[in-house]
């Protein structure tokens, strides 16, 4: 007499195992996006390291800079994918910060070292790169500690590290387009403009790196662009900003990336300075007594 009560061929057990396996596979997807971020950062470092000390052309670092923007795409998608799959976890948050440290901390600093002009002393450029790296690490550590203060995540305190890395990479990524202006078939005025822009871009890169490093550890509030565009309510100003960015892209093409990022980087500090000036102006006005007649 056969006893089949303990049989392992129970259909309910098969369905349960299949569902458990499917949940594990879904849970891996957000982590794959986060690891894709880290892979792009490491690829940027690897590609930039191939550049020799004898000098570079604008195309040598072009793909290295592109990989930073690819890392930004992965970083922007891993959070929404995790929420869509209902797989948000503390492990994913820590993995995201470690990947950001590579892609938006080490990679931009190393890229700037390779692209920096000869008129800056190498030690000065190295110090700026180290300061940028330290500020990026402190920015990420502060975000991990303080991210529960604003559950909606509509604002950042300090410039986000992806925006800082994008600002650095954008000045590298436009170099091939500027180099085309200096081609022999171009007009002489275009060649002079191209040479001027190339010189200005390469000279400004270490200074821009230093500025965005300081903004990362500042207390200035920056909007969370991804969350404000795809989560919560959309205001009229959000659509105006989006249209403004699209107009810039269609108008100036290759220069659109640094211009849009520059507007994002500088808008919040200017807004903070304006608000402080208005507050100081209001505090300096003498109070009008209620007992005095008003004219």
Q: Is 120 left (phi over 0), alpha (psi -120 to 50) or beta?
A: beta
Output the CA–CA distances (angstroms, integers) from residue 286 to 77, 82, 283, in the order listed. 52, 54, 8
Higher pLDDT, 223 or 284: 223
Higher pLDDT, 295 or 87: 87
Q: Which domains does the chain have, with CATH numbers?
A: 27-234 (1.20.120.1760)
Helical H segments across 50-160, by residue range: 62-84, 90-101, 107-115, 122-146
| pLDDT the model gives residue 111 | 93
| pLDDT the model gives residue 293 | 43
| Calpha distance 121→283 (Å, rounded) | 46
| pLDDT the model gives residue 292 | 41
Share of the chain above pLDDT 70, in %: 69
Q: Are 63 and 47 in contact (CB under 8 A)?
A: yes
Cβ atoms within 10 A of the Cβ of 150, count? 13
CA angle 251–230–92, rounded 5-degree value: 115
Higher pLDDT, 291 or 264: 264
| Tokens (6 digits) for 131 | 């300061």
| pLDDT the model gives residue 287 | 47
Helix (H) or strand (E) holding 228: helix 225-230
Higher pLDDT, 226 or 63: 63
Residues 167-188: what's their mean pLDDT? 79
Cβ atoms within 10 A of the Cβ of 35, count? 17
| pLDDT the model gives residue 41 | 96
| Tokens (6 digits) for 202 | 């390469």
| pLDDT the model gives residue 21 | 53
Residues 58-72: what's their mean pLDDT? 87
Reported as a pLDDT band with limits 50, 70 and 90, residue 73 is very high
**pLDDT tens, residue by residue, 216-255:** 999 898 887 666 555 555 556 666 666 766 676 666 566 7
Output the CA–CA distances (angstroms, integers) from residue 188 to 179, 181, 185, 201, 271, in the order listed. 14, 9, 9, 20, 40
Closest Cα partner for 254 from 174, 146, 176, 154? 174
Question: pTM score > 0.85 for this model?
Answer: no
Higher pLDDT, 294 or 262: 262
Strand segments, DSSP code E, in the chain are: 155-157, 221-223
């Amino acid at each position: 007499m056969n006893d089949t009560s303990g049989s392992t061929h129970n259909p309910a057990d098969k369905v349960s195992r299949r569902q458990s396996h499917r949940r594990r596979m879904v849970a891996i997807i957000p982590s794959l996006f986060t690891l894709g971020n880290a892979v792009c950062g490491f690829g940027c470092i690897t590609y930039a390291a191939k550049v020799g000390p004898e000098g570079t052309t604008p195309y040598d670092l072009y793909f290295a800079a592109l990989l930073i923007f690819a890392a930004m795409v992965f970083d922007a998608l891993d959070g929404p994918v995790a929420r869509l799959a209902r797989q948000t976890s503390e492990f994913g948050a820590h993995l995201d910060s470690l990947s950001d440290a590579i892609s938006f901390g080490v990679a931009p600093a190393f890229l700037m070292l390779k692209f920096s002009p000869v008129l800056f002393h190498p030690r000065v450029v190295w110090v700026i790169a180290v300061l940028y790296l330290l500020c990026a690490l402190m920015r990420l550590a502060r975000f991990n500690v303080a991210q529960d203060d604003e559950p909606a995540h509509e604002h950042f305190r300090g410039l986000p590290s992806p925006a800082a890395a994008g600002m650095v990479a954008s000045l590298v990524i436009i170099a091939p387009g500027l180099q085309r202006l200096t081609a022999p078939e171009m007009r002489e005025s275009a060649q002079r403009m191209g040479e001027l822009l190339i010189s200005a871009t390469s000279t400004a890169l270490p200074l821009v790196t230093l500025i965005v490093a300081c903004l990362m550890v500042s207390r200035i509030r920056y909007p969370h662009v991804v969350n404000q565009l795809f989560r919560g309510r959309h205001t009229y100003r959000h659509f105006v900003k989006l249209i403004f960015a699209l107009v810039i892209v269609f108008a100036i093409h290759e220069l659109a990336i640094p211009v849009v990022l520059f507007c994002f980087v500088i808008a919040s500090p200017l807004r903070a300075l304006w608000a402080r000036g208005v507050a100081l102006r209001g505090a300096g006005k003498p109070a009008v007594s209620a007992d005095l007649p008003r004219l």
